[in-house]
């Protein structure tokens, strides 16, 4: 396969290359040609992939080389303009931006949850929002068993979700260095309930994504969902406090058994030993970690969960490469 990573110099693009290098989902031997792609400003710079130096290409240069697969993490504007151009040359595109996610005919995929929608009939596949991915990984098997009626979500999202400039802002603040800012407030020793841009409803775009994307991925438009997104000064990943109200009664031991037997989910729940998921330990991992599993005694069939995952890996890069692996497994791509 000829593989292009569009946005190779960004945080997620860099992790995409790392996940590909590891060869866990797509064997390295099957990559006949690798193309790091970025803006014209970055063209000609060198990146290292699999112990070899590659010059960064412009998007137009990459299109001329006709890759079989393009992993996009270059923002909505770039994806909107160029993903169709790649698809028209027969290239399969997996896009990490939000621009294609809610278009009905575009698959929005978390392989462990709805991998069956990857049929090859569309040359563009959308990668969900990082917070949505870890959420549906944990709740989808519970929904299948008990039926989720209502869900209340509060997220605690890493600065890495905003990108390299946000990481730099946090590092500068911790060093007492004046530098450029991407947040409206200091992030060090602070948190603020603001992710994305505010909508007329009073919710933010990040909060609305949790609602809309969960409905689409799980094919469950009737679940009532409300969310609050909070930005916190950590690097390792996103955390979520999730309150579920089920249609059916549940047994707590059975809930734990379902979670611990779900592929890609790790149950970490031993409060006597202070064992529960934390982003500092999720960093660099592909699994979704779930803990603090307990009944909500204030409502019938209520359950609380704490969900943590590395937002750059399973929340973005790993999920995209897993989708690519599905394309290979389904023989839509030849490896």
Residues labelled catalytic: 130, 238
If 0-12 CB within 10 Å is exposed, 13-18 middle and 19+ buried, where does residue 185 land? Answer: exposed
Please tell me whether residue 253 adopts helix, strand or coil conformation: helix
CA atoms within 13 A on the CB side of 284: 3
Q: What does the alpha-carbon distance between residue 135 and residue 214 come to, in Å, rounded to a whole number?
A: 8
How far apart are the C-alpha atoms of 25 and 2, rounded to whole Å? 16
The DSSP code sequence of 8-52 is TTSHHHHHHHHHHHHTSSS-GGG--EEEEE--TTTTT-EEEETTE
User: Measured between alpha carbons, how far is 13 from 11 in angstroms, rounded to an integer?
Assistant: 6
């Amino acid at each position: 396969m000829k593989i292009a990573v569009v946005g190779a110099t960004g945080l997620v693009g860099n992790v995409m290359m790392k996940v590909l290098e590891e060869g866990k989902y797509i064997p390295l031997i099957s990559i006949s040609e690798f193309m790091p792609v970025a803006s014209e400003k970055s063209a000609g710079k060198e990146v290292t992939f699999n112990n070899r130096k590659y010059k960064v290409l412009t998007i137009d240069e990459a299109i001329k080389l006709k890759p079989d697969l393009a992993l996009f993490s270059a923002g909505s504007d770039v994806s909107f303009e160029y993903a169709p151009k790649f698809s028209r040359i027969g290239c399969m595109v997996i896009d990490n931006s939000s621009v294609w996610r809610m278009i009905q005919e575009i698959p929005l995929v978390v392989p462990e949850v709805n991998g069956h929608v990857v049929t090859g009939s569309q040359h563009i596949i959308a990668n969900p929002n990082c917070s949505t991915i870890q959420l549906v990984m944990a709740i989808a098997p519970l929904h299948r068993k008990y039926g989720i009626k209502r869900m209340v979500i509060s997220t605690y999202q890493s600065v890495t979700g905003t990108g390299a400039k946000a990481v730099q802002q946090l590092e500068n603040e911790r060093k007492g260095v004046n530098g450029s800012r991407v947040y409206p407030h200091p992030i060090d020793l602070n948190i603020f309930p603001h992710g994305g841009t505010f909508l007329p409803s009073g919710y933010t775009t990040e909060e609305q994504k949790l609602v809309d994307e969960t409905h689409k991925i799980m094919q469950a438009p009737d679940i009532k969902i409300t969310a609050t997104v909070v930005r916190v000064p950590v690097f390792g990943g996103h955390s979520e406090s999730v309150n579920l109200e089920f249609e059916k009664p549940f047994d707590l031991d059975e809930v734990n058994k379902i979670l611990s037997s779900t592929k890609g989910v790790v149950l970490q729940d031993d409060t006597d030993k202070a064992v529960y998921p934390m982003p500092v330990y999720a960093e660099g991992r592909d699994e979704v970690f779930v803990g603090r599993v307990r009944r909500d005694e204030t409502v019938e069939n209520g359950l609380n969960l704490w969900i943590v995952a590395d937002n750059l890996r399973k929340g973005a890069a790993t999920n995209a490469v897993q989708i690519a692996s599905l394309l290979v497994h389904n023989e839509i791509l030849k490896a």
